[in-house]
């Protein structure tokens, strides 16, 4: 009878843990740009080639 009680508690804890993980998956991460945010400018710095060490426009 003791193994039945221990098994039931273990199963209950495993189900509770899976349920708790599922709640976290449903929520989108709270990082990065949000819809409607302005995108900051990107200024590349060349690390090789004739423009090495500058941030001239590559186009």
Give me the mean pLDDT over the 1-28 stretch. 78
Residue 52 DSSP symbol: T
Nearest C-alpha neighbor of 49 from the set 40, 41, 58: 58
From residue 40, alpha-carbon distances to 13, 47, 54, 56 in Å are: 46, 21, 19, 17
> Is 43 in contact with 57 (CB distance < 8 Å)?
no
* pLDDT exceeds cutoff 70 at 56: yes
* pLDDT exceeds cutoff 80 at 11: yes
The Cα 44–Cα 59 span in angstroms is 12
pLDDT of 32: 84
Q: What would the pLDDT profile of 17-48 be if each residue is shown by its tens digit? A: 887 776 555 667 678 888 899 988 877 788 98
pLDDT of 38: 92
């Amino acid at each position: 009878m003791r193994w039945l009680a221990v098994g039931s508690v273990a199963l209950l804890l495993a189900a509770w843990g899976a349920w708790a993980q599922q709640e976290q998956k449903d929520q989108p991460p709270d990082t990065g740009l949000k819809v409607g945010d302005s995108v900051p400018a990107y200024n590349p710095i060349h690390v090789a080639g004739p423009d090495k060490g500058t941030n001239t426009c590559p186009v």
